[in-house]
């Protein structure tokens, strides 16, 4: 399945994209793509529906983040060796874990606002995991049973806030608009192997990032199992899994986003995003 949430920000309705690429309304079946709907029984009920029985929706509707009521937005840093190298860091022996504020989450095509005081606004194309059944202290071979699906993420980062202001990465990762997700949530049965996906990102039509999830240092399954050793992962939690080389901070000289820039990115099977950078 490809699940979506459509409509104005803050009042999105649940929906799906059928095999003919038609947007269908799920609001008669569930209240949101969130919480218990993402657990196995809820997802099985949605999978059993005949998409053609659901009302068609005008495709011009805005698509919001494909998951609602996200409790925890977790990120993994330096999960590609080439990205660690371009930042001058050693590849980590264990996943580097930090958080993004859930309030930063936006739709795949929403504007990307430049926060006040920003001087080093950067991009990161990433594969994101959405938790289905809660997970605590699980093994890696059980991890996929706890994943509701995957989506595309742009882990937008303000490098000066992140690295020059002390404290934790969360300060440079959490401004409004810094977490575009979607356009849709794709279930594991439809996506296939999450470690065989191509990632790409362009700025103003120019190539910045090209990579593949097969080069992740820590796989999606390993990350879920690893995090579950330290915390209870709950239904609807989102984990974004790191980015390949090509970020602005790694360029020589560094290049950062400015008002009017257009960022486009995608992962095969998970759709594409487009953000216009907007000064306050």
Q: Give the CATH number, domain containing residue 184.
A: 3.90.850.10
% the chain with pLDDT above 90: 96
Q: Which of 132, 121, 95 is nearest to 226 (CA)?
A: 95
Structural domain includes residue 43? no
In a domain, 140, yes or no: yes
Q: What is the pLDDT of residue 182?
A: 97
What's the structural domain count of the chain?
A: 1
Supply the pTM of this predicted model: 0.97
Q: What whole-number distance in Å separates Cα of residue 185 and Cα of residue 277?
A: 24
- Residue 162: the pLDDT is 96
Question: Which tens digit of pLDDT belongs to each residue from 205-256?
Answer: 999 999 999 999 999 999 999 999 999 999 999 999 999 999 999 999 999 9
Task: Assess if residue 208 is contained within a domain.
Answer: yes
Per-residue pLDDT tens over the stretch 88-129: 888 899 999 999 999 999 999 999 999 999 999 999 999 999
> Do the domain assignments include residue 73?
yes
User: Is 95 part of any domain?
Assistant: yes
Instruction: For residue 12, tell me if it sits in a domain.
Output: no
How far is it, in rounded angstroms, from Cα 92 to Cα 197? 22
The verdict on residue 4 lying in a domain is no
Q: How far is CA 15 from the centre of its chain?
A: 18
For 124-146, how does the pLDDT look when each residue is reduced to its tens digit (9 = 90+)?
999 999 999 999 999 999 999 99
Residue 272 lies in a domain: yes
High-pLDDT (> 70) share of the chain, % = 100
Domain that holds residue 133: 68-278
Distances (CA, A) of 135 to 18, 44, 56, 221: 29, 18, 35, 12
């Amino acid at each position: 399945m490809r699940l979506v949430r459509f409509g104005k920000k803050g009042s999105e309705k649940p929906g799906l994209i059928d095999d003919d690429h038609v947007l269908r309304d799920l609001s008669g079946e569930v209240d949101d793509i969130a919480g218990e709907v993402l657990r196995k029984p809820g997802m099985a009920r949605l999978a059993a529906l005949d998409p053609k029985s659901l009302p068609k929706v005008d495709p011009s509707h805005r698509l919001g983040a494909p998951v609602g009521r996200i409790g925890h937005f977790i990120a993994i840093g330096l999960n590609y060796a080439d990205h660690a190298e371009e930042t001058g860091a050693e590849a980590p022996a264990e996943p580097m874990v930090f958080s993004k504020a859930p309030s930063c989450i936006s739709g795949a095509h929403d504007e990307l606002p430049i926060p006040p005081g920003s001087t080093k606004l950067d991009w990161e194309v990433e594969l994101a995991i959405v938790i289905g059944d809660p997970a605590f202290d699980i093994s890696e071979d059980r991890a996929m049973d706890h994943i509701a699906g995957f989506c595309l993420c742009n882990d937008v980062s303000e490098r000066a806030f992140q690295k020059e202001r002390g404290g934790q990465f969360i300060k440079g990762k959490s401004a409004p608009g810094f977490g575009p997700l979607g356009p849709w949530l794709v279930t594991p049965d439809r996506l296939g192997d999450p470690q065989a996906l191509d990632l790409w990102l362009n700025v103003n039509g120019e190539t910045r990032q090209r990579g593949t999830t097969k080069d992740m240092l820590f796989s999606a399954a390993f990350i879920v199992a690893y995090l579950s050793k330290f915390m209870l992962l709950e239904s609807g939690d989102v984990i974004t899994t790191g980015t390949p080389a090509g970020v602005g901070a790694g360029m020589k000289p560094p290049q950062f986003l400015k008002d009017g820039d257009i960022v486009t990115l995608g992962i095969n099977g998970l759709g594409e995003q487009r953000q216009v950078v907007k000064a306050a």
